[in-house]
Amino acid sequence: MSAALLELDRVGRTFGGVRAVHDVSLKIQEGEIVGLIGPNGAGKTTLINAITGVPPPTSRRLRYRGTAIGHKKPNHIAALGLARTFQVVQPFPDMTVLENVMAGSLFAGGSASMADARDAAREQLEFTGLAPLADRPASKLTLANRKRLELAKSLAMRPKLLLLDEVNAGLNSAEVNQALELIGKIRARGITILIIEHLLKVVLTLCPRIVVLHHGELIADDAANDVVRDPKVIEAYLGSKFAERYGARHG
């Protein structure tokens, strides 16, 4: 079997005496789309932060395409093809939408010049449907469009692996459907995705494989159908009501 695209070997992150993430081991293969779920405060975002290096993990056994990245700085990790979106969107507020996306293509997407970066950014704006808003300042966008901007910026980095942190939080159902469609198109480009998501509908639609984090530890890592039946997961996160309904619907 070939080496995994991303491999976590007992990765941890402590804040003072608090173990936010503890002993998480995980492999993601090229081309996969994996859902990461768990209750609030389970350490999902902390785990993604640890992978991308801000702040770095306290136990650093991370390998990306076979190279150790636990000690690398965030900008090096980004340049290797690992991009992320933020749950609380992090645009460059006073720059235009186009400039925001240009930053991604210029510093991690391999664009040789400013002009190249601008072209590459326009392409991503077309892809995400933000092209009509290219010259607006990022601070003037609606939440749904800011989330799209996060995606466009990450895509401009030409990632191999995309870490999506709650891209659907705060969106209404029509917006969620649009976002789902977009994620589907990103997958079709062959980009591997790890997605944190609270909406089970989204996770179950997108992800054949789900991992569950609870109190900073991995309590399940399996096919989606098995994970939602796992008693530990039901107790920690899904609740018995969900299990009953899901069971009734899917047998």
Partner 1 sequence: MRRNFLILLIGLIVLAPVPFLTDTYVLRLGTTALMYVSLSLAWNMIGGFAGYPSFGMAAFFGLGAYASGILQVNGFAGPVGWIGAGLVGLAFALALGAVVLRLRGHAFAIATLVVAEVLKEITNAWNSLTGGGMGLNMPYQKMDPIAGARIYFYAMLACATISLAATILVAGSKLGFALRTIKQNEDAASMVGVNTTTAKVIAFALSGALGALVGGVYTSWINFIEPADVYDPLFSIKPIVMVLLGGSGTVFGPVLGAAAFLLLDEIVWRNFLETHTGILGLVIVLLILFLPKGLGSLSWPRLLQRSAR
Under the binding rule (CB under 8 A), the answer on residue 86 touching partner 1 is: yes
Under the binding rule (CB under 8 A), the answer on residue 159 touching partner 1 is: no
Distance CA 149, CA 90 (A): 10
Per CB under 8 A, the list member of 27, 92, 222, 229 interacting with partner 1 is 92
Please choose, out of 34-42, 105-113, 171-179, 181-189, the segment that lies near partner 1 by the rule CB under 8 A.
105-113
Per CB under 8 A, the list member of 25, 67, 75, 240 interacting with partner 1 is 75
Q: Which residue has the tokens 């092209």?
A: 131
Under the binding rule (CB under 8 A), the answer on residue 73 touching partner 1 is: yes
Distance CA 129, CA 126 (A): 5
Residue 217: other Cβ atoms inside 10 A: 16
Under the binding rule (CB under 8 A), the answer on residue 200 touching partner 1 is: no
Under the binding rule (CB under 8 A), the answer on residue 118 touching partner 1 is: no
Q: Answer for the pair 87, 93: CB distance below 8 angstroms, yes or no.
A: no
Under the binding rule (CB under 8 A), the answer on residue 153 touching partner 1 is: yes
Q: Which residue has the tokens 């350490």?
A: 43
Per CB under 8 A, the list member of 58, 59, 107, 217 interacting with partner 1 is 107
Distance CA 212, CA 51 (A): 17
Please choose, out of 95-103, 169-177, 191-199, 206-214, the segment that lies near partner 1 by the rule CB under 8 A.
95-103
Residue 23: Cβ-neighbour burial (10 angstroms; 0-12, 13-18, 19+): middle
Please choose, out of 37-45, 93-101, 177-185, 222-230, the segment that lies near partner 1 by the rule CB under 8 A.
93-101
Distance CA 115, CA 125 (A): 15
Distance CA 49, CA 19 (A): 14
What is the nearest approach in angstroms of partner 1 to the Cβ of residue 74? Answer: 4
List residues near partner 1 by CB under 8 A. 52, 54, 73-75, 78-79, 83-84, 86, 90-95, 99, 102-104, 106-109, 114, 153, 157
